[in-house]
Amino acid sequence: MADTSITVSQSNTSSNSGLTKSGYLVIIAGQSNGNDRFIITGNLPAQYQGVQSDCYTYYKTVDDSSDNGSWVQMNAGVNTKTGTAATGFFGIGINITNRLLTTYSKYGYVVPTAVSGSYIAGDQTPSWDITKSAEYYERCISYHYRKAISKIGGVSYTPVFIWVHGESDSDTLAHGTAYEANLTALINKFRIDSGFPNMKIIITRLRSDYGGASLGLTQVRAAQVNIAATLPNVYIYDTETIATPLSTDGQHYNPITSNYGGTQSALNLANGLADLISTF
């Protein structure tokens, strides 16, 4: 973790957090490709079918403002947003932490805040629009980050923000054109609100073969690259490097069916993100 300017130690001494090792605090935001999704458990590689030792997630219902979250060891059979048992839940968070630990001997702690189908265009719902206090930025990213770190105990951590998004805002030319300004504002605000103005940001670039409504696809993809070129410590993860296909709907890395191609895409995405995070 070379950038020591963004590594801090929390003084909170919660005895129930379970976290004992310093590591990366990985905030995953955006929309459904950043979530865990149902698949058939039998499709999971064996190493993902049990509890991942020393890999924790902050279990919290993303749009619930009550303080009921807690740090819990990640398990492939548990919904990372609610902490409830469910057959075959699987997504990029558990695999990012597993890759960091097994390949790099580094620890990762995940704060999942992605909201399926979300926009950052302010005229749509649900939206990450930072100008609306009741919208998802305040209710999810900002709120759950604060709650997660308040319960992290005395563990030193390096925060990393992963933005898995763009599909919704590619639906119209107007939304696509506004994407660069909207996402720039969100990144700048979270850096200020979190107290980490140099926080590492990873944008997963929307694929060129995205199969949804995409009149603004070119604009969203260009905006993501422009932001990485303009703002400091912002990185692009090129999802075109994922060799395996998307799910059968042409939109998801994490499958909404038992399609194994989508599952492998989610694995490849998570592994690539973990490889990048390990260099920070």
pLDDT digits (tens, 9 = 90+) for 128-158: 999 887 778 887 788 778 888 888 877 889 9
3-state SS, residue 133: coil
Q: Are 211 and 251 in contact (CB under 8 A)?
A: yes
User: Cβ–Cβ contacts within 10 Å for residue 66, how many?
Assistant: 8
Instruction: Flag residues of the chain having pLDDT under 50.
Output: 1-16, 37-53, 61-64, 77-81, 83, 85-89, 256-260
CA nearest neighbour of 161 among 206, 209, 121, 193? 193
Task: Using a cut of 0.75, tell me whether the model's pTM lies above it.
Answer: yes
140 secondary structure, DSSP code: I
Give the pairing of strands 51-59 and 234-238: unpaired
